[in-house]
Amino acid sequence: MWGYIYIADCGDCDHDKLHSLENIQALIDELCERTCMKKMGPLHSHYLEDNEYNKKHDITGYSICQFIQTSSIVLHLCEESRSVYINFF
């Protein structure tokens, strides 16, 4: 076996934290620290803007990728439903 994958679908999250890159970076830092993973390079983020189409499809929010020594941590944060989707390999 080469590695593990963790997938989480989190709801009822704090909207202000979902919208803060500072809080998102702190979450990534904590995940890496607790799992002894080494970050490789900077956090990559893209904000899907707050418009009617994105609200209707619940995609307003950040998409995040942090490369780590063995793979990556990917998050999608949906502000409308206050959901976070995490894929940590």
- The tens digit of pLDDT for each residue in 26-47 reads 999 999 999 999 999 999 999 9
Is residue 40 domain-resident? yes
In a domain, 59, yes or no: yes
Q: Is the Cα torsion angle 19, 32, 5, 43 positive or negative in sign?
A: positive
Residue 23 has pLDDT above 90, yes or no: yes
Strand partners, 61: 48
Q: What's the confidence (pLDDT) of residue 2?
A: 72
- What's the CA gap between 23 and 5, in Å, rounded? 23
Indicate the pTM of the whole model. 0.88
Helices (H), the chain: 15-18, 21-35, 52-56
The tokens for 35 are: 């799992």
Nearest residue to 62 (alpha-carbon basis) of 73, 30, 35: 73
Specify the pLDDT at position 70: 85
1 falls within a domain? no
Instruction: Flag whether 68 is in a domain.
Output: yes
Count of structural domains, the chain? 1
Structural domain containing residue 72? 6-88
- Percentage of the chain with pLDDT > 90? 84
42: in domain: yes
Q: In this structure, what CATH number is given to the domain that contains residue 62? A: 3.60.90.10
Instruction: Please compute Rg for the chain using Cα positions.
Output: 13
* pLDDT of residue 1 exceeding 80: no
